[in-house]
């Protein structure tokens, strides 16, 4: 009984982690940016979604869409305000650009966190579940919302797969992640590719943020831990590898769930961090990493 | 090294030594105290990003403005200077030092977080600055004053100590959960924080006396975001009621309790549930949650309760959190003490505050004395301050205890299973 509870609970959390981390790894794979403001984008989507749904009276569905739109907007803002100017700056030697981008996004994430705390207080908020009530899953009493979230995550990931593998735009993205210079030689505008990938990332992070808000609740204080968990998952799975990220998300999600249920809820984040250290030590490219 | 050259002071050293001696004298001299003319400055340290903390500073400002509108104290205006400590003890200490040394306040009202209040207490002792916390609960705050009175006498505890919070909840559970709903068992669920250590200790003592057997005692990390394993563990024990002690968390456990339809009532101290915005924050998931608080909307504990609440809502758009009531009262208590002492001298002010007998918004404020266990904490009891217990019903906080002042019947959501022989 407890085992089934763990399986069901772990599946939903892992799916959410997977959705968030896939965007993170996509950004790294295609544009080489480790976006440390990742948690900030999810939190903003969640808070805006809550605000629109409740305070502005949009209702749950429109509020959720507004939250996703906010995630998209903020991701593009992160690209145009923080990442692109640093990447194009002549004052920074090219070998150091990545560090500057990393630091820039970290500071941007902190600014977002403090800004959100100022506007909304650091209290977590929750979005009303899209579907209420509970249902029986293998004998485990599970909120319907949780099942829907897991399903939604996989539908979105499925769309992403279709986009990358079956559409022309997706193939351009794939090519950009393999060899950006080759792509420019073929006549493609890299800057438009980057805008596309940041937009996709914004939508993914936005959806992950609003779903997390309806599942567990989100507050400005979650910004750091969300970034950290996406970072660990992506390093574990291999930076730049989407399938690696998906596998790693489930590994981390289940490790945390098993720890919370069988050992102690307090120690939940520890095993994933220990695993991260071991992976960096033994196999630094991660499970399926390329770079 | 040559003895003679070592002993002979070089030419440059003399002015340096003179400068150092002068600096030492300046540092050792007592810092300038607020003169007995000019505005009376009161420092208020709150956590602006937290709902309870923001309420604290707003309520103090309201009190200050009211006093000034009525002419101030003997013509002197009250100036409320607010500081944001970002829920950090280190920042609160810096704010305290700034308040004393730069802004020259005569007293400090500070924080609803016990860890912060306990960090400020030694500074109140070192700097001889009267300090009162309107929201923290740890019994250690008053214990320090009791154990080392001469050193810590400048600190006052302006809210119910955890021991009394627990006692009032036990009394409530005895009257209602056992008395009306015939419950027999409970599980204690509280966050691992300074204020819950004495709370839980008292729970473990008074719950059995109230008629509830304690089946399990869970203390969880305040950074927990997923409460499913915790609710799972509680449910496996089949208690009739969950007795809570939560303040740092609130939205997440409440929303998850509701969404997972955990079939056990949640009763106890949930500080975030005392604020009016909690209904919106949880999208109504707080329906049926019971919490102890300072005052319930619409219920006049004293003639001052409702006017304060109305003025606060009118100015700030939300109802005050529990520490808003006490923070507002504390400004008046300080000003009243200055009036009786005839001075802002710290020792005289402390002596005057000890004689406080002030009708505030949530009861009559009196402080325990030197020989009482909780020296300088507010006195608990009928006619003084007891707090009330409210339940969220249909978007509103309804007072359900003490029963003679109750204005609603206790009812739980449909998914909560009540013992078979429960009264309707």
Condensed to tens digits (0 to 9), the pLDDT of residues B207-258 reads 999 999 999 999 998 888 889 999 999 999 999 999 999 998 999 999 999 9
pLDDT score for B390: 93
Which residues in chain B have Cβ-Cβ distances shorter than 8 Å to A2?
A: 232
Which residues in chain A have Cβ-Cβ distances shorter than 8 Å to B224?
A: 265-266, 268
Task: Place B26 in a pLDDT band, splitting at 50, 70 and 90.
Answer: low
B259/A145 touch (CB, cutoff 8 Å), yes or no: yes
- Locate B252 and state its tokens: 């997440």
Closest C-alpha among B251, B286, B277, B260 to residue A54: B277
Which residues in chain A have Cβ-Cβ distances shorter than 8 Å to B285?
A: 126
Which residues in chain B have Cβ-Cβ distances shorter than 8 Å to A134?
A: 260-261
When scoring B85, B237, B259 by the number of chain A Cβ atoms within 10 A, the one with the most, hence best to mutate, is B259
| Secondary-structure percent of chain A, ordered helix, strand, coil, rounded to 5 | 80, 5, 20
Which residues in chain A have Cβ-Cβ distances shorter than 8 Å to B225?
A: 124, 216-217, 222, 225
Which residues in chain A have Cβ-Cβ distances shorter than 8 Å to B250?
A: 123
Domains B40-161+302-365 and B163-299+386-405 alike in fold: yes
A5/B232 touch (CB, cutoff 8 Å), yes or no: yes
A54/B280 touch (CB, cutoff 8 Å), yes or no: yes
Please determine, for residue A240, whether its predicted confidence score (pLDDT) is greater than 90: no
Please determine, for residue A154, whether its predicted confidence score (pLDDT) is greater than 60: yes
How many angstroms away from the CA of A220 is the closest CA of chain B?
10
Helix axes A38-50, A60-77, angle to 10 degrees: 150
Mean residue pLDDT of chain B comes to 89
Domain ranges across chain B:
40-161+302-365, 163-299+386-405
How many angstroms away from the CA of A291 is the closest CA of chain B?
33
For the domain made up of B163-299+386-405, the CATH class stated in words is alpha beta
Secondary structure, 3-state, chain B: CCHHHHHCCCCCHHHHHHHHHHHHHHHHCCCCCCCCCCCEEEEEEECCCCHHHHHHHHHHHHHHHHHHHCCCECCECEEEEEEECCCCHHHHHHHHHHHHHCCCCCEEEECCCHHHHHHHHHHHHHCCCCEEECCCCCCHHHHHHHHCHHHHCCEEECCCCHHHHHHHHHHHHHHHHHCCCCCCEEEEEEECCCCHHHHHHHHHHHHHHHCCEEEEEEEECCCCCCCHHHHHHHHHHCCCEEEEEECCCCHHHHHHHHHCCCCCEEEEEEHHHHCCCHHHHCCCCCCCCEEEECCCCCCCCCCCHHHHHHHHHHHHCCCCCHHHHHHHHHHHHHHHHHHHHCCCCHHHHHHHHHCCCEECCCCEECECCCCCCCCCEECECCCCECCEEEEEECCEEEEEECHHHCCCCCCCCCCCCCCCCCCC
Which residues in chain B have Cβ-Cβ distances shorter than 8 Å to A121?
A: 49-51, 54
Which residues in chain B have Cβ-Cβ distances shorter than 8 Å to A211?
A: none
| Nearest neighbour of B261 by CB, restricted to A55, A134, A219 | A134
Which residues in chain B have Cβ-Cβ distances shorter than 8 Å to A9?
A: 228-229
Task: Place B20 in a pLDDT band, splitting at 50, 70 and 90.
Answer: low
| Secondary-structure percent of chain B, ordered helix, strand, coil, rounded to 5 | 45, 20, 40
pLDDT score for B230: 93
- What's the mean pLDDT in B56-74? 94
How many angstroms away from the CA of B413 is the closest CA of chain A?
13
- What's the mean pLDDT in B117-123? 96
| Binding-face residues of B in 218-257 toward A, CB within 8 A | 220-221, 223-230, 232, 250-252, 255-256
Q: What are the tens digits of pLDDT across the range B81-107?
A: 999 998 899 999 999 999 999 999 999
pLDDT score for B381: 85
pLDDT score for B100: 95
Task: Place B66 in a pLDDT band, splitting at 50, 70 and 90.
Answer: very high
- What's the mean pLDDT in B360-387? 91
Question: Is the pLDDT higher at B341 or at B14?
Answer: B341
CA-based nearest residue in chain B for residue A225 = B223
- Locate B326 and state its tokens: 């006490």
d(CA B155, CA A129): 46
Q: What are the tens digits of pLDDT across the range A53-109?
A: 888 888 888 999 999 999 999 999 999 999 999 988 888 888 888 899 999 999 999
- Edge-to-edge strand ranges of the sheet holding B78-84: B78-84, B40-46, B107-110, B131-133, B155-157
- In A, what residues contact B, Cβ < 8 A? 2, 5, 9, 13, 54-55, 117-118, 121-129, 132-134, 141-143, 145-146, 216-217, 219-220, 222, 225, 257, 260-261, 265-266, 268
SS3 B33: coil
Contact B294, B388 (CB under 8 A): yes
d(CA B366, CA B379): 6
SS3 B414: coil
d(CA B86, CA B195): 19
| Binding-face residues of B in 50-79 toward A, CB within 8 A | 50-51, 54
| Nearest neighbour of B226 by CB, restricted to A128, A141, A216 | A216
A126/B229 touch (CB, cutoff 8 Å), yes or no: no
* Structural domains present in chain A: 2-282 (1.10.3470)
ipTM exceeds 0.90, yes or no: no
A265/B250 touch (CB, cutoff 8 Å), yes or no: no
pLDDT score for B424: 44
How many angstroms away from the CA of B360 is the closest CA of chain A?
28
| Binding-face residues of B in 80-99 toward A, CB within 8 A | 87
Task: Place B420 in a pLDDT band, splitting at 50, 70 and 90.
Answer: low
Please determine, for residue B25, whether its predicted confidence score (pLDDT) is greater than 80: no
- What's the mean pLDDT in A181-209? 89
CATH T-level fold of B40-161+302-365:
Rossmann fold (3.40.50)
Q: How many Cβ atoms from other residues are within 10 Å of residue A256's Cβ? A: 25
Please determine, for residue A182, whether its predicted confidence score (pLDDT) is greater than 70: yes
Cβ–Cβ contact B395 with A under 8 A: no
d(CA A1, CA A171): 45
């Amino acid at each position: 009984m407890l085992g089934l509870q763990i399986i069901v609970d772990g599946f939903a959390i892992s799916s959410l982690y997977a959705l968030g981390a896939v965007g993170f790894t996509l950004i790294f794979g295609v544009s080489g940016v480790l976006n440390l403001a990742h948690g900030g984008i999810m939190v903003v989507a969640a808070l805006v979604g809550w605000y629109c749904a409740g305070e502005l009276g949009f209702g749950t569905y429109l509020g959720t869409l507004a939250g996703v739109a906010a995630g998209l907007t903020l991701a593009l803002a992160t690209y145009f305000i923080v990442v692109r100017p640093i990447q194009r700056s002549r004052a920074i030697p090219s070998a150091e650009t990545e560090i500057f981008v990393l630091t820039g996004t970290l500071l941007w994430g902190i600014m977002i966190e403090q800004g959100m705390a100022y506007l909304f207080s650091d209290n977590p908020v929750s979005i009303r579940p899209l579907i209420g009530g509970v249902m029986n899953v293998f004998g485990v009493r599970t909120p319907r919302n949780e099942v829907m979230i897991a399903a939604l995550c996989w539908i979105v990931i499925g769309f992403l797969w279709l986009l990358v593998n079956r559409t022309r735009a997706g193939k351009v993205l794939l090519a950009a992640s393999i060899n950006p210079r080759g792509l420019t030689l073929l006549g493609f505008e890299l800057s438009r590719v980057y805008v596309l990938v940041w937009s996709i990332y914004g939508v993914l992070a936005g959806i992950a943020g609003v779903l997390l808000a309806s599942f567990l609740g989100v507050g400005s204080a979650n910004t750091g831990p969300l970034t950290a968990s996406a970072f660990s998952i992506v390093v574990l799975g291999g930076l730049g590898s989407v399938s690696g990220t998906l596998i790693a998300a489930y590994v981390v999600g289940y490790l945390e769930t098993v720890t919370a249920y069988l050992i102690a809820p307090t120690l939940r984040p520890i095993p994933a961090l220990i695993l991260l250290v071991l992976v960096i030590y033994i196999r630094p490219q991660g499970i399926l990493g390329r770079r | 090294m040559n003895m003679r050259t070592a002993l002979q002071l070089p030419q440059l050293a003399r002015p340096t030594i003179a400068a150092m001696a002068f600096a030492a004298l300046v540092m050792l001299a007592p810092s300038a105290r607020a003169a007995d003319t000019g505005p009376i400055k009161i420092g208020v340290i709150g956590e602006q990003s937290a709902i309870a903390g923001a309420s604290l500073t707003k309520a103090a400002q309201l009190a200050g403005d009211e006093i000034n509108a009525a002419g101030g104290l003997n013509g002197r205006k009250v100036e409320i200077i607010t500081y944001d400590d970002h829920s950090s003890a280190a920042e609160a200490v810096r704010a305290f030092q700034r308040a004393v040394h730069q802004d020259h306040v005569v007293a400090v009202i500070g924080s609803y977080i016990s860890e912060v209040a306990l960090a400020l207490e030694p500074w109140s002792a070192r700097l001889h600055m009267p300090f009162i916390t309107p929201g923290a609960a740890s019994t250690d705050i008053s214990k320090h004053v009791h154990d080392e009175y001469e050193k810590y006498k400048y600190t006052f505890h302006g809210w119910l100590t955890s021991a009394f919070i627990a006692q009032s909840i036990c009394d409530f559970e005895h009257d209602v959960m056992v008395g009306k709903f015939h419950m027999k068992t409970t599980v204690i669920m509280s966050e691992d924080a300074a204020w819950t250590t004495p709370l839980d200790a008292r729970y473990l003592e008074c719950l059995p006396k109230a008629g509830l057997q304690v089946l399990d005692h869970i203390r969880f990390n305040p950074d927990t975001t997923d409460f499913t394993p915790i609710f799972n563990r509680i449910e496996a024990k089949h208690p009739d009621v969950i007795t809570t002690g939560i303040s740092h968390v609130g939205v997440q456990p409440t929303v998850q309790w509701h969404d997972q339809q955990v079939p056990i009532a949640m009763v106890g101290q949930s500080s975030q549930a005392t604020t009016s915005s909690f209904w919106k924050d949880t999208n109504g998931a707080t329906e049926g949650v019971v919490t102890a608080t300072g005052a319930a909307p619409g219920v006049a504990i004293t003639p001052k309760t409702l006017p304060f609440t109305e003025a606060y809502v009118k100015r700030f758009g939300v109802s005050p959190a529990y520490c808003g009531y006490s923070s507002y009262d504390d400004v008046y208590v300080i000003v009243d003490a200055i009036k009786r002492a005839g001075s802002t001298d710290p020792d005289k002010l402390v002596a005057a505050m000890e004689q406080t007998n002030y009708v505030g918004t949530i009861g009559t404020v009196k402080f325990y004395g030197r020989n009482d266990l909780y020296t300088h904490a507010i006195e608990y009891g009928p006619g003084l301050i007891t707090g009330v217990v409210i339940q969220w019903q249909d978007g509103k906080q309804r007072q359900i205890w003490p029963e003679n002042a109750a204005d609603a019947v206790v009812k739980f959501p449909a998914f909560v299973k009540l013992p078979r022989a429960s009264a309707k």
